[in-house]
Amino acid sequence: MPDKPLSGLKILVTRPREQAILLAHRIEQQGGVPMMFPLLEITPIQDNKKLLEQASRLSQFDLAVFISPNAVQFGMAAIRSVGVLPQALRIAAIGESSAKALHILGVENVIMPDSRFDSEGLLAHPELQDIDGWRVIIFRGNDGRELLGDTLKSRGAKVEYAACYQRSKPDNDAASLLTFLPDVISVTSSEALRYLWQMLNEKQRTTMVSIPLFVPHKRIAEQAGLQGWQNVRLTDSGDDGLLSALIAWRSESR
């Protein structure tokens, strides 16, 4: 029987644990050996009074933007706890995974970038150019980049942020990571990459930076380059993008 595409390849999966389970299973199906090492924990916002108040007056807004699949999960849960999405409300998502999460929940006609799946890509969308006077609500975590909101404001929109989940640093240490010593590492956010770097001492960094690092966004790749990672591989978004990149890299390196 021929080897599977990722046979024996040790892959560090750093997504939040709940989001990593399906990916780990798919890696195993391809013969890989995943290690789940979450660099972020995602939990509901502790005090959701403001979130529920915002969700209760969605009819006042022209556009709702969901920053991530987590924003979809927790934002839509808050919305449905107080009512439904107004039919006239335009819905936008930063990327494919967020749009897919919305579609699963029955939300159609989602505005999303054509290629670059980030704030810059969404801001380039034709439907978001002439928005003077619009009221926009952005569902996101407890903090994040201000580029999207600031740019929409500069175009004449009134913007509110709806914090619907919070990110925190899990209680991890580098010992188990160095014991596993992965063949490749997958990181899906700049914040997670920063936590990983802070976790490592100088000697550990010297060991880790030679391991191929797979990231889904140019911005993360640029940050990795500044930290000193020597082999950064840019992938398409989502599980499919990562798996395709891993399989292609494994084939090339054999």
pTM, to two decimals:
0.83
For position 2, what pLDDT does the model report?
Answer: 58
State how far the Cα of 67 lies from the Cα of 139, in Å rounded to an integer.
6
pLDDT (0 to 100) of residue 237? 81
Q: What was the pLDDT predicted at 1? A: 45
Q: Which two tokens stand for residue 39?
A: 């660099």
Strand 184-186 versus strand 135-141 pairing type: unpaired
**What is the rounded average pLDDT for all residues in the chain?**
93
* pLDDT in the model for residue 213: 98
Yes or no: say if 128 and 111 are a contact pair by the CB < 8 Å rule.
yes
Q: Could you tell me the CA-to-CA distances from 118 to 35, 65, 95, 108, 157 in Å, in that order?
A: 27, 12, 6, 20, 19
Q: Pseudo-torsion of CA 183, 231, 116, 216, nearest 10°?
A: 20
The arrangement of strands across the sheet holding 184-186 comes to 33-36, 10-13, 184-186, 213-215, 232-234
Query: Which amino acid makes up residue 48?
Result: N
User: pLDDT-based confidence at 238, cuts 50/70/90?
Assistant: confident
**Which CATH number applies to 10-40+171-253?**
3.40.50.10090
Whole-number Å distance between alpha carbons of 178 and 167? 25
Position 225 pLDDT exceeds 90: yes
Residues 6+ positions from 63 with CB-CB distance below 8 Å = 89, 90, 91, 92, 111, 128, 131, 134, 135, 136, 137, 157
> What residue ranges of the chain are covered by domains with CATH 3.40.50.10090?
10-40+171-253, 43-167
| Least confident among 43-52, 140-149, 216-225 | 140-149
CATH class entry, domain 43-167 = alpha beta
**What average pLDDT does this structure show over 39-61?**
95
Secondary structure of residue 143 in the 3-state scheme: coil
